[in-house]
């Protein structure tokens, strides 16, 4: 859940609150890419003492994710940790909280509230027991083609919603580890730490899923079609059950994608599914379909 596993030796943040945060808390303007400060008012304020953190289940960057309880309800707690909670780190937390606070969709993880007092800043969401990466690569659960298409359609539905918003929300970190599964096999998208509503400079991502336009140097524009590229990589991963670019160093992955290399598509992959995969990961963003078209194509392949 939420990125790669993190060290159990948690680094505790400083208790000193940055001076600018004391000035900006509660003010209506933000300098970040998602400037919906009013949305923070829609995210329930939770006190850290209300949370019972259990085992660490994931994390990445400046955040660690725990399974825990809030008001006797099992939840996921994404806690930001660093030697010091800087203005930039706090802004990252606040933007993700605001983004999720605005989203309402059955295929997107539900935010329940947030602790916004430094140093104990964290995001509280519904808890789901596993993720798609675990299902694909750590288990032997059989996945036939209809099941794969149904799972993929859930992902597509989340992005039809995100990209239809005004302005559209680009997730920018679609991958199997950021897709959670409930006990009814419903997929829910999580981790909006890189989400943006503007075509600003790309400063992060997961190498194997990053579109070529995200790898062409700082300042290059991109749009929501980067999510479509990642979906193509994901769809092939779901069918092949192989980790994309497994074992390659990040720099080598970047070079391979820029040179037009893609993961191998299995010979047994149905032609219609193969065509969709290859359209999604086309080097030219204009040639990639949108998620509305992807959802229609998946339905036509037999999903219900």
The set of catalytic residues is 173
Q: Which residue reads 């992005």 in tokens?
A: 159
- CA gap 283, 212 in Å, rounded: 6
Q: Choose among 61, 44, 60, 171: nearest CA to 107.
A: 171
The answer to whether the bond into 167 is cis (omega within 30° of 0) is yes
Report DSSP letters for 84-127, one per residue: S--HHHHHHHHHHHHHHHH---TTBPPEEEEEEETTEEEEEEE-
Task: Please choose, from the candidates 120, 122, 117, the residue with its C-alpha nearest in 3D space to the C-alpha of residue 22.
Answer: 117
Q: Which two tokens stand for residue 128?
A: 């789901």
């Amino acid at each position: 859940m939420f990125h790669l596993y993190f060290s159990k030796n948690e680094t505790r943040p400083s208790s000193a609150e940055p001076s600018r945060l004391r000035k900006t808390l509660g003010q209506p303007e933000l300098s970040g890419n998602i400037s919906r400060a009013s949305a923070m008012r829609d995210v329930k304020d939770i006190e850290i003492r209300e949370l019972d953190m259990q085992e660490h289940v994931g994390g990445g960057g400046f955040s660690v994710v725990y399974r825990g309880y809030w008001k006797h309800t099992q939840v996921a707690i994404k806690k930001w940790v660093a030697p010091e909670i800087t203005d930039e780190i706090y802004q990252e937390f606040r933007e993700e909280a605001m983004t999720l606070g605005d989203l309402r969709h059955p295929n997107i993880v539900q935010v329940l509230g947030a602790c916004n007092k430094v140093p104990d800043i964290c995001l509280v969401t519904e808890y789901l027991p596993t993720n798609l990466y675990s299902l694909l690569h750590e288990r032997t659960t059989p996945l036939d083609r209809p099941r794969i298409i149904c799972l993929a359609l859930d992902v597509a539905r989340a992005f039809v919603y995100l990209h239809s918003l005004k302005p559209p929300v680009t997730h920018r970190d679609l991958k199997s580890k950021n897709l959670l599964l409930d006990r009814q096999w419903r997929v829910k998208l999580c981790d909006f730490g890189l989400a943006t509503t503007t075509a600003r400079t790309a400063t992060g991502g997961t190498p194997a899923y990053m579109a070529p336009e995200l790898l062409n140097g700082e300042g290059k524009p991109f749009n929501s079609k980067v999510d479509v590229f990642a979906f193509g990589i994901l769809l092939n991963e779901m069918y092949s059950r192989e980790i994309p670019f497994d074992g390659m160093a990040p720099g080598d992955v970047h070079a391979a994608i820029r040179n037009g290399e893609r993961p191998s598509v299995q010979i047994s992959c149905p032609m219609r599914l193969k065509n969709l995969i290859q359209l999604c990961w086309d080097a030219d963003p204009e040639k990639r379909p949108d998620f509305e078209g992807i959802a229609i194509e998946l339905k036509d392949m037999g999903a219900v």
